[in-house]
Amino acid sequence: MVTIKQLSDHQDQIVTLKGWVYNIRNSKSIHFIEVRDGSGLCQCIVSADDVSEKVFEAAGSLKQESSLEISGKVIKDDRSIGGYELHATDLKVVQIAENYPITPKEHGVEFLMENRHLWLRSRRQWAAMRVRNEIIFAIHTFFQGRGFVQMDSPIFTGNAAEGSTTLFETDYFDEKAYLAQTGQLYGEALAMAHGLIYTFGPTFRAEKSKTRRHLTEFWMIEPEMAYYDLEMNMDLAEDMIKAIVKTVLEKNKAELDILERDTTALENLAEKRFERMTYTEAVDKLKSDETAALLDEMAASREKELADIKKEREEIKKEHGSAKKWRKAQIDQRIKEIGARVDQIEEDLRNIPGWKESARNFEWGNDFGGSDETVLMMQFDVPLIVTHWPAEIKAFYMKRDETDKLALGMDILAPEGYGEIVGGSQREDDLTTLEERIAEEGLDKEVFEWYLDLRRYGSVPHSGYGLGLERTVAWICGLSHVRETIPFPRMLGRLRP
């Protein structure tokens, strides 16, 4: 058996593919079957001249998502998906599928989510999962290459680490347990044992808000480094993100094409240093006239684009009546695209006044909302690292600067409106200070005794961060919602399939 991905090694040979019918067009003397096998897509041509009558009939009986084994000659054809076609000589039906619910016509996202177990077979979903896989591999390669040890932190935990409002509580043999919001505290213990470690596992937050960036179950990569300060922490995160992007650009060209991702900004990343500013500088930027002017400009250019594409739509609609069949299909496709873009622009135009207002009136001391992040990032085409946060809005474990007002935290915001992908900090390493923080937060000191031990026995400066995998996948793939970045997303109102 050969996979579609390997076809280039088998030009002009007879091979057998095992897969499923992605799409099929039939005519009297020829069947065009788009076959997918998990590794890719390949157009297979079953011609009445080349196969037995029985085989030709069998091909005619295939429906979308039927499973089959198909043999034939591999022919190079640059116009074909993947660059190769199969000219069939034989075919074996494995199963004729029932009427498949996801057809090539458009479906609403709720319907697709209900059928997530099948939707994953669609091209775009397939491509996103391949990119996710490559990102995971790139992360391991990056850290392993630098001598980090991957260690697993527990999922059942006895204490909260990232605030008590997003805890999933569960019953642990009559004791309360929580699903881990982060592996960090355990990561700190492991760093004191191994120096450089990273955890890579699922984390859970009872997020009650429905946004395009929040899941209740998501995967986080959390490196923790003994003897690292904030600066070294930021440098590491920047190197890691650049390594991930570089790998995806090298390995996933085909997938990014399927996702129609404009990769210009991603390609420029390697050369550039990430933007860095303090929280206070970021607030000033957000409130500035420059930002307000940028938003006005954005509104104006969106208005213009809207007028242009609406005009185009009117014109091609007129052409539709007398157009040839192939051109009609082209027009239908374009009208669909325009429709989607119009919706998006109209949404932006509805949002911009609110964004402007919220940016202008932003008060020092608040956390950035999703729209503030989007507005802030309009000015940059590389990620932005924001440091020195008001201590009140950051976690108890963060070390503070000499004023005691600012936490040595760092968040990394992705460009193009994808929001915060990394949250991290230098950690408080002084026993007494940390005890004070725990008391101030009203946390139960007893459950943190083990964590305090890390400050009792050989405490050292140390730092770490957490990278949200799904938001990273969303950004790199250019997907507007995290629900398409993980095989089976868990969100408010979504537990099945």
Query: Measured between alpha carbons, how far is 219 from 267 in angstroms, rounded to an integer?
Result: 25
| Amino acid of residue 18 | K
- Shortest Å distance, C-beta 397 to Mg ion: 13
Under DSSP, is residue 345 helix (H, G, I), strand (E, B) or coil? helix
> Nearer to ligand 4AD by C-beta: 84 or 218?
218
Amino acid at 299: A
CB of 99 to ligand 4AD, least distance (A): 36
Q: Residue 163: left (phi > 0), alpha (psi -120 to 50), or beta?
A: left
Give the nearest distance from C-beta 87 to ligand 4AD in angstroms.
47
470 binds, among Mg ion, ligand 4AD, none (CB under 5 to 8 A by kind): ligand 4AD
Nearer to ligand 4AD, 295 or 476 (CB): 476
Give which of ligand 4AD, Mg ion, none residue 464 binds (C-beta under 5 to 8 Å, depending on kind). ligand 4AD
Q: Beta strands 196-204 and 149-150: pairing type? A: parallel
Closest CB to ligand 4AD among residues 77, 367: 367
CA gap 410, 230 in Å, rounded: 8
462 binds, among Mg ion, ligand 4AD, none (CB under 5 to 8 A by kind): none
- Cβ neighbors of 471 (< 8 A, separation 6 or more) are 213, 414, 418, 419, 420, 421, 482, 485
Residue whose CB is less far from Mg ion, 86 or 282: 282
Residues in the chain: 497
Tell me, rounded to whole angstroms, the distance of Cα 371 from its chain centroid.
Answer: 18
- How far apart CA 211 and CA 205 sit, in angstroms, is 13
Q: How far is the CB of 306 from ligand 4AD (least distance, A)?
A: 32
Which residue is it, tokens 């069998």? 58
Six-digit token pair at 267? 């390609």
Contact 407, 394 (CB under 8 A): yes
Q: How many H-runs (helices) and E-runs (strands) does the chain carry?
A: 15, 16
431-440 and 449-456 helices, crossing angle to 10°:
160
Q: Residue 1, exposed/middle/buried by CB under 10 A (0-12, 13-18, 19+)?
A: exposed
Query: Which of the choices Mg ion, ligand 4AD, none does residue 182 contact, using the CB cut-off of 5 to 8 A by kind?
Result: ligand 4AD
Toward ligand 4AD, which CB reaches closer, 40 or 464?
464
State which residue, 134 or 162, has the beta carbon closest to Mg ion: 162
| Smallest separation, CB 395 to Mg ion (Å) | 9
Choose between 451 and 465: whose C-beta lies nearer to Mg ion.
465
Q: What are the backbone angles phi and psi of residue 150, rounded to the nearest 5°?
A: -85, 125
Q: Identify what 215 binds: Mg ion, ligand 4AD, none; CB under 5 to 8 Å per kind.
A: ligand 4AD
383 binds, among Mg ion, ligand 4AD, none (CB under 5 to 8 A by kind): none
Contacted entry of Mg ion, ligand 4AD, none for residue 348, CB cut-off 5 to 8 Å set by kind: none
Residues that bind Mg ion (CB under 5 A): 423
Q: How far is the CB of 214 from ligand 4AD (least distance, A)?
A: 4
Q: Which does 424 bind (CB under 5 to 8 A by kind): Mg ion, ligand 4AD, none?
A: ligand 4AD
Provide the binding-site residues for ligand 4AD, judged by CB under 6 A.
162, 182, 184, 205, 207, 214-215, 218, 220, 222, 420-425, 464-466, 468, 470-471, 482
Of 19 and 468, CB closest to ligand 4AD:
468
